[in-house]
């Protein structure tokens, strides 16, 4: 039996970010929203938006070994996925080979295990890298994974200059919200900006970074904090690149962003519209960028994993659909829709297919793509967009007054702001003022038959260990050692490290060996503890 509330539902008088919501909006006197394709891009970065081209439909996938993930990629491509999005396991993210002691029990569990060229060859077997767009959710070891990808693409005959895709490569948000860091900020920022320079010269169609608000929101931030902390990180990356001698217009057009799509439908739409206006102003007014491409926020979005529930998991289909629609109405360029079972395990093939079909139904059946920025002019949406912009700039100003992004990370200021927001949200859920269907209201005593979930066989780890050891045994140890020595010397000096990492993986160095070399030079980051 479902439980129905005994008293009338409370009136929602504010957004999830705490922005007051009026009962009725009858006017708007904020900034001019302009036209799509024109500065400040509130209404979209393209004049025709989805009338000209739909957003890229991606499905984030990766598990077990490269063979298993390769099968899933072929399946998703056959079902209409427009781009691949690779999930890596924790050892790969943290720079450890499968046979390292710290990898035990984690190999292939939350993503695919990739440690060397053979793994990358297998991962993309039968896939034309000259034609597919690939996004890799990888940060601390982004330079290694991009190097492996580039080396395999060259073997397949693809031109590096034509490769399309993104490496997330957003290390600052790892210190803030996710925790998968290796090196202290200065070493990590050097690797990131070296990738900016390398990609600008050799891979101009590749996005060397996807500055991520997604994980900041998943950690419990508000929409305003998501925007402010993401753009604070972006400012830090741009500052670091300029200090390395790069002209802002040489790399800004290759910066991309990654945002969360949460449950507050209109706030999320307004958030995406505000994000374009905010970044355009930052790039033009703060950094003096002159190329219009430098002013554009180009972003991938993903529905909010933190909103998925293990209770009544089929309700997640509805949540994901609403979030995906908000992302489309907000003008995303790329979208991943989560699967209904992700509060329990990695998605099964059938649940991943349903998540993809959700995007396809929106794209081909709803007709929301027929006109650009269909909610423009709504008094509510325009006022909300302007208020999100105003509050974001106010928070950015506070970060500046506290010494900038890196200083705010090292002091714990940003982390504490997110923790306080997450705590407030949890209090609202516990009290019932923030309702989660199936969790704190409308529960079922008998949830029915559990849904099918994916399980990773433990023997996959053993196979990965055997494979990396066989890989090391067949290579020229002297050539590998020489390439790693050159990488170490370069890290101690001021050479561009991306080229040296690429040289090392071509000499058959593994991900763990490259990471260990850089650990020797840069050291390990010690997490802020609050004490």
What's the pLDDT tens digit per position in 281-309? 999 999 999 999 999 999 999 999 999 99
User: Which residue would you say has higher pLDDT here, 101 or 4?
Assistant: 101
pLDDT reported for residue 59: 84
pLDDT at 120 over 90: yes
Q: Residue range 266-294: average pLDDT?
A: 98
pLDDT reading at 4 higher than 60: no
- pLDDT for 388-398, tens place per residue? 999 999 999 99
- Give the N- to C-terminal CA distance of the chain in Å, as an integer: 48
Mean pLDDT of all residues in 525-530: 72
Confidence band for 82, pLDDT divided at 50, 70 and 90 = confident
**pLDDT above 90 (res 332):** yes
3-state class (DSSP) for residue 47: coil
| Coil vs helix vs strand at 324 | helix
pLDDT tier for residue 61 given thresholds of 50, 70 and 90: confident
pLDDT for 510 equals: 98
Q: Please give the pLDDT value at position 523.
A: 97
| pLDDT for residue 455 | 86
Which candidate, 309, 323, 315, 335, places its Cα nearest to that of 439?
309
Strands (E), 377-513: none
pLDDT exceeds cutoff 60 at 9: no
Single out the residue of 103, 136, 68, 78 nearest to residue 348, CA to CA: 68
- Between the alpha carbon of residue 158 and those of residues 83, 143, 201, 310, 502, the distances in Å are 17, 19, 17, 43, 16
Looking at residue 12, its pLDDT comes to 58
| 245-262 confidence digits (pLDDT tens) | 999 999 999 999 999 999
Q: Order the strands of the 209-212 sheet from edge to edge.
A: 206-207, 164-167, 133-137, 83-87, 56-61, 334-336, 299-303, 255-261, 209-212
- The answer to whether 103 and 97 are in contact (CB under 8 A) is yes
* Pair of tokens at residue 2: 């479902």
Q: Give the per-residue pLDDT at 5.
A: 53
Helix (H) and strand (E) counts in the chain: 20, 9
- Average pLDDT over all residues of the chain: 94
For residue 383, pLDDT over 50 is answered with yes
**For residue 528, what pLDDT is reported?**
62
pLDDT in tens, 455-467: 888 889 999 999 9
Average pLDDT over residues 276-283: 98
What are the chain's domains? Answer: 49-362+369-431 (3.20.20.240), 464-522 (no CATH)
Mean per-residue pLDDT, 346-351: 92
* pLDDT confidence of residue 527: 77
Task: Give pLDDT, residue 446.
Answer: 75
What is the pLDDT confidence band of residue 1, given thresholds at 50, 70 and 90?
A: very low
Question: To 10 degrees, the CA torsion angle through 128, 327, 217, 284?
Answer: 90
The 10s digit of each residue's pLDDT in 182-237 is 999 999 999 999 999 999 999 999 999 999 999 999 999 999 999 999 999 999 99
Q: What is the mean pLDDT of residues 48-69?
A: 91
- pLDDT cut 90: percent of the chain above it: 90
Instruction: Tell how far CA 324 is from the center of its chain.
Output: 16
Q: Express each pLDDT in 468-480 by its tens digit.
A: 999 999 999 999 9
* Other Cβ atoms closer than 10 A to 22: 10
DSSP one-letter code for 64: B
Output the pLDDT for position 432. 94
| Single pTM value for the model | 0.92
Residue 526 pLDDT grade (very low, low, confident, very high; cuts 50, 70, 90):
confident
Indicate if the pLDDT at residue 10 is higher than 70. Answer: no
The DSSP code for 496 is: -
The average pLDDT across 492-513 equals 97
In the predicted structure, residue 531 carries a pLDDT above the cut 70: no
Q: What is the pLDDT of residues 155-175, one digit of tens each?
A: 999 999 999 999 999 999 999
pLDDT given for residue 62 in this prediction: 87
- Report the distance separating Cα 512 and Cα 279, nearest Å: 36
User: What is the average per-residue pLDDT within 125-145?
Assistant: 96
Q: How far is CA 197 from CA 85, 247, 288, 484, in A?
A: 23, 10, 19, 21
């Amino acid at each position: 039996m479902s439980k129905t509330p005994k008293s009338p539902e409370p009136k929602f008088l504010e957004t999830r970010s705490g922005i007051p919501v009026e009962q009725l909006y009858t006017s708007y006197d904020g900034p001019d929203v302009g036209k799509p394709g024109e500065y400040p891009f509130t209404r979209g970065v393209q004049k025709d938006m989805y009338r000209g081209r739909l957003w890229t439909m991606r499905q984030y996938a990766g598990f077990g070994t490269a063979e298993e993930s390769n099968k899933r990629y072929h399946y998703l491509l056959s079902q209409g996925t427009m781009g691949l999005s690779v999930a890596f396991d924790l050892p790969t993210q943290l720079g450890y080979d499968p046979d390292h002691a710290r990898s035990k029990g984690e190999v292939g569990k939350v993503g695919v295990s990739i440690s060397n060229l053979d793994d990358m060859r297998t991962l993309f077997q039968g896939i034309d890298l000259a034609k597919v767009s690939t996004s890799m959710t990888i940060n601390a070891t982004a330079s290694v994974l991009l190097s492996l990808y580039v080396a395999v693409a060259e073997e397949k005959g693809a031109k590096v200059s034509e490769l399309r895709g993104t490496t997330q490569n957003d290390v600052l948000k790892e210190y803030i919200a996710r925790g998968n860091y290796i090196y202290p900020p200065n070493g990590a920022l050097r690797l990131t900006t070296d990738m900016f320079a390398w990609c600008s010269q050799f891979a101009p169609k590749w996005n060397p970074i996807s500055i991520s608000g997604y994980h900041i929101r998943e950690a419990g931030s508000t929409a305003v904090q998501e925007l402010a902390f993401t753009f604070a990180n972006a400012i830090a990356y741009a500052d670091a690149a300029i200090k390395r001698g790069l002209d802002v217009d040489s790399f800004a057009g290759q910066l991309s962003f990654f945002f969360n799509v949460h449950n507050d439908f209109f706030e999320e739409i307004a958030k995406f519209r505000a994000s374009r206006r905010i970044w355009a102003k930052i790039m033009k007014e703060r950094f003096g960028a002159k190329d219009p491409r430098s002013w554009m926020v180009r972003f991938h979005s993903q529905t909010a994993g933190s909103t998925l529930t293990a209770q009544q998991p089929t309700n997640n289909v509805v949540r994901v659909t609403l979030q995906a629609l908000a992302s489309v109405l907000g003008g995303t360029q790329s979208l991943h829709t989560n699967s209904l079972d992700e509060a329990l395990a990695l998605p099964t093939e059938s649940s991943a297919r349903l998540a993809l079909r959700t995007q396809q139904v929106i794209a081909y059946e709803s007709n929301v793509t027929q006109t650009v920025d269909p909610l423009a002019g709504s008094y509510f949406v325009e006022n909300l967009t302007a208020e999100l912009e105003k509050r974001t700039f106010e928070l950015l100003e506070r970060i500046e007054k506290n010494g900038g992004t890196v200083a705010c990370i090292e002091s714990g200021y940003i982390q504490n702001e997110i923790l306080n927001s997450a705590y407030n949200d949890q209090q609202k859920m516990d009290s019932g003022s923030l309702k989660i269907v199936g969790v704190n209201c409308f529960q079922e005593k008998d949830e029915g038959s559990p849904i099918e979930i994916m399980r990773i066989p433990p023997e996959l780890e053993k196979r990965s260990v055997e494979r990396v050891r066989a890989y090391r045994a067949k290579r020229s140890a002297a050539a590998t050692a020489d390439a790693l020595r050159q990488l170490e010397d370069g890290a101690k000096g001021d050479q561009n490290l991306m080229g040296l990492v690429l040289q090392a993986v071509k000499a058959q160095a593994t991900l763990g060996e490259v990471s260990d070399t850089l650990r020797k030079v840069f050291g390990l980051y010690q997490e802020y503890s609050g004490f």
